[in-house]
Amino acid sequence: MKHRPRSTQLRPLALGLLWISPWLVGTLVFLAIPAAVSMYLSFTDYSLLRSPVFVGLDNYRELSGDGTLWTAVGNTAVFAVSSVALSTVLSVALAALLEQSFRGAALARAIVFLPTLVPAVATSVCWLWMYNTKFGLVNSALALVGIPGPDWLGDRSLALGSLIFASLWVVGSAVMVCSAGLKEVPRSLYESADIDGVNRRARFWHVTLPIISPAVLFNAVMSLIWSSQVFAAPYIMTKGGPQRATTVYAMYLYNNAFVYGRMGYACALAWVQILLILAATAALLRFAGKHVYYRGL
């Protein structure tokens, strides 16, 4: 048996590396190198205007006693948990409704998905107007039924909840994922359930939901990662107030880096944020893994 020359064997590998070289270069230049620089700067005192001074673990030690940080962590946790739970339930419910046969179903799907195409800044500005105490659409609608509208973004007890509600506006992508999962449910399972006399609610709970559980888990994980890094809406709509009621982690990180001039401390915050998101995602996967049904496995 003749062996091909080594140069001939390496040619497919070289060709493959050539084709993926843009991705490799992009990952190196825009991810790996900045991450390494950020890791180094997290151990320094760096104000952007002077050379970084190595301070060891001082930035990380400061984190434990930073009251504003813990406020931001708490606000982010409330936002993330609420957003994940509500968006998951809403996406499944909307997907199930849109799978029903009715006139204009395609238009309804397009309307549900359309908000995901609007930039976050434009969406935040629209919701800022809708929550306006004098001219906002929400308070105007309440005034029609004789209810005085509150200051949605100025009241400490309502501000974070208002942001959570606004975050559900972009649930369209999750709805499409659930809709794709619903199309994969075998019709034979529904027929068997009908023969056994299973009602619609039990059929959804014991047949539909287990089959689409991988799609639900995917949406939940993506929502958790996104909501843990939320920045645009709280920053544009509230600037972190009132009384830091909407100061989230990413906003506090931004302020330290570009407002307070503490880039080294901000880099430490960024690495802690990565670890927190990884831990939360791992916990979600561990918890949900016992309740997810994978066909064929």
Q: How confident is the model at residue 270 (pLDDT cuts 50, 70, 90)?
A: very high
Predicted local distance difference test score (pLDDT) of residue 287 = 86
Single-letter residue type at 11? R
**DSSP output for 15-67:** HHHHHTHHHHHHHIIIIIHHHHHHHHHTTEE--SSS--EE-TTHHHHHHHT-H
With respect to residue 61, please indicate whether it lies within any of the assigned structural domains.
no
| Greatest C-alpha distance within the chain | 90
Residue 34, domain extent = 6-54
Say whether both 40 and 154 belong to one domain: no
- Can you give the length of the chain in residues? 297
Say whether both 77 and 20 belong to one domain: no
Average pLDDT of span 67-88: 96
With respect to residue 113, please indicate whether it lies within any of the assigned structural domains.
yes
With respect to residue 297, please indicate whether it lies within any of the assigned structural domains.
no
Say whether both 150 and 259 belong to one domain: yes
Task: Convert the pLDDT of each residue in 224-268 to its tens digit.
Answer: 999 999 999 999 999 888 889 999 999 999 999 999 999 999 999
**Whether the predicted model's global pTM rises above the 0.85 cut:** yes
CATH number at residue 182: 1.10.3720.10
Say whether both 38 and 100 belong to one domain: no
Task: Convert the pLDDT of each residue in 207-226 to its tens digit.
Answer: 889 889 999 999 999 999 99
Task: Convert the pLDDT of each residue in 1-24 to its tens digit.
Answer: 555 566 666 778 888 888 999 999
Say whether both 49 and 146 belong to one domain: no
Predicted local distance difference test score (pLDDT) of residue 232 = 93
Task: Convert the pLDDT of each residue in 165-187 to its tens digit.
Answer: 999 999 999 999 999 999 888 88
246-249: list long-range contacts, CB under 8 Å, 24+ apart.
246/75, 246/159, 246/160, 246/163, 247/68, 247/71, 247/72, 247/75, 248/72, 248/75, 248/76, 248/79, 249/72, 249/73, 249/75, 249/76, 249/273, 249/276
Q: With 60 as the cut, is the pLDDT of residue 37 above it?
A: yes
With respect to residue 122, please indicate whether it lies within any of the assigned structural domains.
yes
Instruction: Please state, in angstroms and rounded to a whole number, the distance separating the CA atoms of residues 162 and 233.
Output: 11
Say whether both 105 and 129 belong to one domain: yes
Instruction: Please state, in angstroms and rounded to a whole number, the distance separating the CA atoms of residues 173 and 219.
Output: 9
Task: Convert the pLDDT of each residue in 42-63 to its tens digit.
Answer: 999 999 889 999 999 999 999 9
**206 is written with which tokens?**
């014991």
Report the number of distinct structural domains present in the chain: 2
